[in-house]
Structure 1
Amino acid sequence: MNAISSERVLSIQSHVVYGYVGGKAAVFPLQCLGYDVDVVNTVHFSNHAGYGRSGGTKATAAELNDVFEGMERNELMAPTRLLTGITPPCYVPSAEGLSAVAALARRLKRERPELIYLLDPVMGDAGRLYVAADVIPIYREMLPLATIIAPNWFEVETLTQVKLEDLPSLRKAFSILHDTYHVPNVIITSIPLTPWLYNALPPAIQPSSDSEYLLCIASSRVLPSSLPVVYAQCVPLLPGYFSGVGDLFSALLLAHFHSPSSPATIPNLISTSTSTSTVPHPQTPLAHAAAYALATTHHILRLTHAHAITLPAKERAPTDDEADAAEPLRKTRRMRGRELRLVQGQAAIRGEGVEVRPMGVWENFWDV
């Protein structure tokens, strides 16, 4: 994709010196796809929290506001796209810091209604809340500002206060996000494919093998008077632990998303054949972007996994809390060997050699 030269992303995320999470996982892919990126670092750490030890500093709300004000005084605050994804637990400056980001997003959307804003409301995962309770209402206040939100399963439950345990509860959660918070585009990734979800999927979307899969669901309200259009795709689960995957996916999603009013046309990097049984009508901009983001992210993960399994045995030691505590470098070596292979995968980021499968429409999703 060749982005129009006027396309500029403001990325407000964490920064690590070594490795690829937060802004380090997002900025390079955006630049590979032709975007100028202005970067605001919410923290400056030596490495990500998965290593167990790190050094560095967090930005205060005053420091963030000082950066924002300096850009505005010099007429440098002119993004066409905004990406915020402040990763917990240690990367969220505070509720006050998040409020500073929210105030900026609100001001930018007021001044530039056409701004495409991807909000990743990072709060927790796997039933565990990473942030203080006072962060949650701030994220809820930010939802109506977003063009796209990319929560995980647990974050959807936290935002909507709906326990996702069957198709009716999933419908209810999407309705709350679309109708109560007026978010036009919602995508949930890395969803474990539980039996009830598998059985609810249309046959064309269900995976045919017995391997483990994760599910991605994308829902867009195309017209105010119509029901949202829902798409889904299953992705094979790769073994092992990866950091920065959500940050990479969000950046790719933002890069490939083009609304009808966007200055760029929808990219067509890779020709894909689709059958009318799988995609009965043109994909929504969100489904289109998700297909490219999923394919590229999975390609990068395969590169990372292939590299990791070639490392010496001591750098592939399995997780063992007791052994890691006794020898901290044991964990360091394991984390270091599984950093995302972004530079090695830059051709794939640009669309070379990646097979993109269109998202499948979830027909009858809204049927009761």
Structure 2
Amino acid sequence: MAEDSSPKVLSIQSHVVHGYVGNRSAVFPLQLLGFEVDFINSVQLCTHTQYKKVTGQILKEQDLSDLFQGLKENGLDKYDYLLTGYVGSPSFLKEIVAVYKHLKSVNPNIVFVCDPVMGDNGEFYVPEELVPLYREQVVPHAHILTPNQFELESLTNMTINNVEDCWEAIEKLHLKGCKTVVVSSSDLGGNGHLLALASTKMGESCQRVTITLEKKQAIFVGTGDIFAALMLAWMHKSNNNLKESLEKTIASLQATLERTLRSAEGKPHTPENLELKLIQSKRDIEEPKVTLFANCTRKSS
């Protein structure tokens, strides 16, 4: 890649002083893989919310508008990708949509990668008023969505009990305008396994990809943020090869989780001991070793 041709990403998501979540999880992998990343922090907290004491600040929509206005006036508003993650309020999400519309007016080929961070395991950790906004104002603009199973259910108002339900929910998002949907994790793998599912709409047909992976016996924070960043990177580098991108994303993420678990061996699974070993996984991010291969099928509409 030529030195002056590095793709540019604007990443809008959370930030923590200590640990790895939000932009702290996403920016480093993207930079390692050759992307120029500008980032705006939707919140700035001392740590992620699994710690006993959390302090910090929340960016308001006017703050986002002010920062972006400065970029515009300096002629720094041309990006190849917009990446979004945690957003804490409906007004802030609306401002992100306004930012995207301007970015698209500057670069019609910009790709919007959205991790619709809303909750997990049946519980919301953002105001539920965000759901219809994601559904009606974000999904139609997003090129790549990376929800987990709970977020997919919320976006489609469906209960997902099996793989066919999942594909049906994904198809609903395709019909709303999103070309690629990647379900970062679901409980559909059976026997202590997770299932990742991805689909890209191509005219009247879909390419569908699945990978089954072992469920780790720990709760990690920040994995979805890394997942979305790596999917962005590998879709770019592979010329939108969905199978290759999912395989490499999961390879890097699994290696990072395994290294994190090894470092916590014999220790209590506290938030501090389970902070992702992201820096130590540099080589696994740059050169993922694929050991879990995806199944790939095509489905006609």
Q: TM-score range by the shorter chain?
A: over 0.9
One-letter identity of the residue aligned with 1:361? C
Match of 1:348 among 266, 284, 288: 284
SS in 2 for 1:13: strand
1:293 is aligned to 2:249? yes
Deviation at 1:3, TM superposition (A): 8.5
Which segment is superposed worse, 49-58 or 300-309? 49-58
Q: Deviations over 1:45-100 (max 9, x none)?
A: 110001031111011111110001010100112211111001xxxxx342111111
Match of 2:272 among 321, 333, 336: 336
1:71 is aligned to 2:71? yes
Match of 2:38 in 1: 38
Change (3 A) 1:165 1:48: same
Q: Percent identity?
A: 33
From the CA coordinates, give the structure whose radius of gyration is larger: 1
Q: Gaps spanning 5+ residues in structure 1: where? A: 87-91, 196-209, 259-264, 268-283, 318-333
- Aligned partners of 1:117 and 1:148 also within 8 Å: yes
SS in 1 for 2:276: coil
1:185 is aligned to 2:177? no
One-letter identity of the residue aligned with 2:46? S
Match of 1:254 in 2: 232
* Inter-partner Cα distance in structure 2 for 1:6 and 1:303: 29
Match of 1:240 in 2: 218
TM-score normalised according to structure 2 size: 0.93
Deviation at 1:193, TM superposition (A): 2.8
Which segment is superposed worse, 157-166 or 23-32? 157-166
Match of 2:194 among 179, 194, 214: 214
TM-score normalised according to structure 1 size: 0.77
SS in 2 for 1:97: helix
Give matches, 1:256-335, under 5 Å.
256-258=234-236, 266=238, 285-311=241-267, 316=268, 334-335=270-271
Deviation at 1:250, TM superposition (A): 0.8
Give matches, 1:144-159, under 5 Å.
144-159=140-155
Match of 1:175 among 165, 171, 177: 171
SS in 2 for 1:191: coil
Q: Deviations over 1:121-165 (max 9, x none)?
A: 111111112222321122121112111000111111111112112
Match of 1:274 in 2: none
- Aligned partners of 2:184 and 2:227 also within 8 Å: no
Q: Gaps spanning 5+ residues in structure 2: where? A: none
Q: Which has the higher strand share?
A: 2
One-letter identity of the residue aligned with 1:153? Q
Deviation at 1:170, TM superposition (A): 2.8
Match of 1:13 in 2: 13
SS in 1 for 2:211: strand
* Inter-partner Cα distance in structure 2 for 1:30 and 1:168: 33
Change (3 A) 1:344 1:157: same
SS in 2 for 1:339: coil
* Inter-partner Cα distance in structure 2 for 1:4 and 1:29: 19
1:231 is aligned to 2:209? yes
* Inter-partner Cα distance in structure 2 for 1:339 and 1:173: 32
SS in 1 for 2:97: helix
Deviation at 1:230, TM superposition (A): 0.7
- Aligned partners of 1:2 and 1:34 also within 8 Å: no
- Aligned partners of 1:186 and 1:218 also within 8 Å: yes
Match of 1:359 in 2: 294
* Inter-partner Cα distance in structure 2 for 1:240 and 1:4: 41
* Inter-partner Cα distance in structure 2 for 1:37 and 1:165: 38
One-letter identity of the residue aligned with 1:110? S
Change (3 A) 1:168 1:299: closer
- Aligned partners of 1:3 and 1:34 also within 8 Å: no
- Aligned partners of 2:189 and 2:195 also within 8 Å: no
* Inter-partner Cα distance in structure 2 for 1:145 and 1:104: 12
Deviation at 1:167, TM superposition (A): 4.6
